[in-house]
């Protein structure tokens, strides 16, 4: 699903998008001429590789995602997560794919390694 930046309404509008077995649903609205606020929830399952043994494990997602989209260079100092978009178009499919990719690139231990790491820490 794609929407042009200038067509985003100021009142919250619902969206829903899916990628493989992950679903992203929530609302979006324009909060300033160059900023759009997204409040969403990511759910479903995805495969994540263990960074210790390389085994792939199914991971259940249940993440709240709140972030801002800017249609240009964002200069304001802010604690909020701001993502710059290209071509003045919001692409929800791209957002969900990027979120999954960033999750998969994080350090993740499979359940086995997590247990053995805990045991290791207790031993020493
Ligand atoms: Zn592992």
Decide if pLDDT at 95 tops 80.
yes
CA of 111 to the centre of ligand 1 (A): 7
What is the distance in A from the centroid of ligand 1 to the CA of 119? 14
Tokens of 115: 């247990």
pLDDT digits (tens, 9 = 90+) for 17-74: 999 999 999 999 999 988 999 999 999 999 999 999 999 999 999 999 999 999 876 6
The alpha carbon torsion through 79, 103, 95, 35 (nearest 10 deg) reads: 0
Question: Which residues have CB atoms below 5 A from the ion given as ligand 1?
Answer: 50, 52-53, 55, 110, 113
What is the 16 CA–ligand 1 centroid distance (Å)?
33
Cα–Cα distance list, 11 to 7, 15, 27, 87, 118 (Å) = 12, 13, 9, 23, 48
Q: For 73-84, write each residue's pLDDT tens digit.
A: 666 666 667 888
Token duo for residue 3: 């929407």
Give the distance (Å) from ligand 1 centre to CA of residue 117.
10
The reported pLDDT for the residue numbered 23 is 97
User: Which range scores top for mean pLDDT: 11-25, 80-94, 105-119?
Assistant: 11-25
**CA 2 to ligand 1 centroid distance, Å:** 37
Degrees (nearest 5) of the Cα angle 56, 61, 62? 160
Strand bridging mode 22-32 / 35-49 = antiparallel
Per-position DSSP letters for 12-32, written without gaps between them: -EEEEEEETTEEEEEEEEEEE
Q: What is the DSSP letter of 47?
A: E
């Amino acid at each position: 699903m794609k929407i042009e930046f200038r067509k985003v309404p100021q009142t919250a509008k619902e969206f829903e998008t899916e990628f493989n077995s992950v679903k992203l649903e929530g609302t979006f609205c324009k909060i300033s001429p160059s900023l759009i606020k997204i409040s969403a929830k990511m759910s479903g399952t995805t495969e994540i590789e263990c960074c210790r043994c390389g085994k792939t494990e199914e991971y259940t997602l249940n993440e709240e995602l709140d972030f801002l989209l800017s249609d240009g260079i964002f200069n304001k100092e802010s604690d909020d997560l701001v993502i710059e978009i290209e071509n003045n178009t919001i692409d929800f499919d791209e957002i969900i794919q990027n979120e999954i990719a960033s999750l998969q690139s994080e350090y993740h231990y499979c359940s086995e390694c997590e247990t053995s790491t805990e045991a290791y820490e207790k031993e020493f």
